[in-house]
Amino acid sequence: MNWTLPTWLVIYPTPCCNVPLRCSEMGCGWSKDGSDLTIDGEHVELRKEEADDSLTVIVHNCTTEDTGTYKCTITNSEGSETTKSEVKVKEDVKAPTFTKQLKDMTVTEGETVEFSVKFSGKPKVKW
C-alpha cells in the first residue's frame, strides 16, 4: 500500500494542533530536515494502524520549531522509496489593540498629568 504525503502543509498552532504523517511499515524510517526524527511519545508520537498496515507520526501542539521537511523512507529486500512533506507552522499573530485607551483630561497649571494605556497583541508589543 502506497501513501502519499502532501507536498506542503501550513499549520496554525493551537492547543490541539496535530500533524499526522503516514507511511507503510515494512522497514520504515522517519526524518526531519535530514536528521532522524525524535519520537518521544509526547510531542512526537508514532501510532501503528493494524487495519491498514500503516504508521502515523503525530506532532502534537505544533510550534514554529516544528517547521521543516519531514520524510518517510520505506525499505524492503527489493529497494526503498521516500516521500516527503514540507511543514510550515505559522505563528499565531494578532494585530495590536488597545484594551484601555487615552482619555481627554483637564489639569491646572503646575499639576502632573499621567497617560495610561493597556493593549494586547501577538507578538507582544515592545516598549
Query: What's the grid cell of residue 87?
Result: 511543514
So what's the pLDDT on residue 15? Answer: 46
User: Rounded to an integer, what distance in angstroms lies between the CA atom of residue 89 and that of residue 50?
Assistant: 30
Which residue type is seen at 40?
Answer: D
Task: Give the C-alpha separation, 108 to 113, whole Å.
Answer: 9
Q: Which residue has the higher pLDDT, 90 or 124?
A: 90
The answer to whether the peptide bond before residue 13 is cis (omega within 30 degrees of 0) is no
pLDDT digits (tens, 9 = 90+) for 60-74: 999 999 999 999 998
pLDDT one-digit tens code per residue, 92-112: 888 899 999 999 999 999 999
pLDDT digits (tens, 9 = 90+) for 17-46: 555 565 554 588 899 999 999 999 999 998
pLDDT at 55: 83
Fold for the domain defined by 27-87: Immunoglobulin-like (2.60.40)
Would the pTM of this model clear 0.75, i.e. be above it? no
Residue 10 vs residue 117, higher pLDDT: 117
Specify the DSSP class assigned to residue 109.
T
94-100 and 118-122 beta bridge pairing: antiparallel
pLDDT of 48 reads 85
Read off the DSSP letter of residue 52. Answer: T
Q: Give pLDDT, residue 56.
A: 87
Question: Residue 16: is its pLDDT beyond 50?
Answer: no
